[in-house]
Amino acid sequence: MSARERGHQPARRTGGLTRREFLAAVPLAVAAAACSRPPYRSEDFARAAQSPLALLPASTYDADLTDLIARGLRMLAQDVRGRRVFLKPNMVEYWSDKAINTDPRVVASAAEAMLKAGAAEVVVGEGPGHRRDVEYLLEGTGMGEMLDDLRLRFVDLNHDDVRRVPLKCRYTGLDAVWLPTELLRCDYIVSMPKLKTHHFAGMTASMKNLFGVMPGAVYGWPKNVLHFHGIEQSIIDIAATVRPHLAIVDGIVGMEGDGPIMGRPRPVGFIGMGTDLVALDATCARVIGLDPAKMPYISVAGEFLGNADVRRIDQRGERPDRYHMQFDVIEPIRRMRA
């Protein structure tokens, strides 16, 4: 059955704009949508008064990351005993000299920490939006070898069976999305992004990372159907519908410049963990010199999905200002700087 036969509408026409011009206009559309009647039911979302967040120091990938992540689970009072855990790293492309992907050592350490904490099963999965050859990515990044050592399954989300799931909010104008069944059968989902700049959205962190759960067999490469419904709108809709239980950000070495693929490595020195993806992403934005209030997908999500306001973030572990730096960014997203 094709994507069209599964019920997706054709991509909307862009009124003569080029693709880059159209996508550049997306943040304005998100902001405009936020000013009108919101496309969600407020009773479906209940924000906590305070969102706990842990920044844990890790200057290199040789640190004891398993112990670090286990400590973060305790700080955030996360109980994974008996649960099926799904780890969703960021795997886009592979070049040995670029910090594109979530480091496999962080993923392996998270899996070990979950299993030691009593998880019944840990599964790792990704649906790369750029490189279709998943075997190439697993081998090149070293992820495959590490997962083999731990006897963990990897699921190619681009080609997994899918199930139709109604959207919890509808900033894209879509009614539902098709999600991989392997993701849906797990009852504890963890977004595990690499901290990077993004040439359209400003930053890739725990919310943007969820683009990778959308199957390429349905949405194309690089998830073109969603791109034409709006990258930032899609970020909000996907995050509100998938609702991960936890995010673990690989901020040991990030990417500045023309992310999420063509940028340069930039050491930052932390692992970020939080149950509120909006709060974690807002904090990561502040760390790298961006203003969440100027990033439409974070500011809109901060109205109903989580807490972007620093006053509503319960900071645990290290304070963000310990890591604060100014990431180099390309011209189109300099308007998002703090």
Considering the domain boundaries, does residue 80 fall inside one? yes
* Percent of the chain whose pLDDT exceeds 70: 89
Lowest-confidence segment of 77-91, 121-135, 171-185 by average pLDDT = 121-135
Count of other CB atoms within 10 angstroms of residue 331:
7
Query: For residue 84, is it within any domain?
Result: yes
Residue pair 262/208 in contact (Cβ under 8 Å)? The answer is no
State which H helix or E strand residue 289 sits in.
none
The pairing of strands 264-274 and 246-256 is antiparallel
The helix/strand count (H/E) of the chain reads as 12, 12
Please check whether residue 171 lies inside any domain of the structure.
Answer: yes
pLDDT tens, residue by residue, 134-157 = 999 999 999 999 999 999 999 999
Averaged over 237-242, what is the pLDDT? 98
Write down how long the chain is.
Answer: 338
- Per-residue pLDDT tens over the stretch 19-62: 344 344 444 454 444 456 789 999 999 999 999 999 999 999 99
Inside any domain, residue 31 = no
In DSSP notation, 81-129 reads: TT-EEEEEE------TTS--S--HHHHHHHHHHHHHTT-SEEEEEE--S
The answer to the question of residue 12 being in a domain is no
Domain hosting 283: range is 52-336
72 within domain boundaries: yes
For residue 18, pLDDT over 70 is answered with no
Least-confidence region, from 30-44, 100-114, 176-190: 30-44
Specify the pLDDT at position 130: 82
Average pLDDT, the chain: 91
The pLDDT of residue 255: 98
Long-range contacts of residues 320-325, Cβ cutoff 8 Å, at least 24 apart: 320/55, 320/283, 320/286, 320/287, 322/55, 322/57, 323/55, 323/251, 323/268, 323/269, 323/270, 323/287, 324/286, 324/287, 324/289, 325/266, 325/268, 325/287, 325/288, 325/289
Query: Which pLDDT band holds residue 97 (cuts at 50, 70, 90)?
Result: confident
Residue 17 falls within a domain, yes or no?
A: no
Give mean pLDDT, residues 110-134. Answer: 95
Q: Quick one: how far is CA 159 from the chain centroid?
A: 20
Asked if pLDDT for residue 11 goes beyond 70, the answer is no
Strands 194-198 and 202-204: antiparallel
Residue 173, domain CATH:
3.40.50.11440
223 falls within a domain = yes
Domains identified in the chain, total number: 1
Q: State pTM to two decimals.
A: 0.90
Rounded distance, CA 212 to CA 92, Å? Answer: 9
Report the pLDDT value the prediction gives residue 34, as an integer from 0 to 100: 47
For 305-325, the pLDDT digits (tens) are: 999 999 999 999 999 999 999
Given pLDDT bands bounded at 50, 70 and 90, which one contains residue 252? very high
Q: Is the pLDDT of residue 172 over 60?
A: yes
SS3 sequence, 290-319? ECHHHCHHHHHHCCCCCCCCHHHEEEEECC
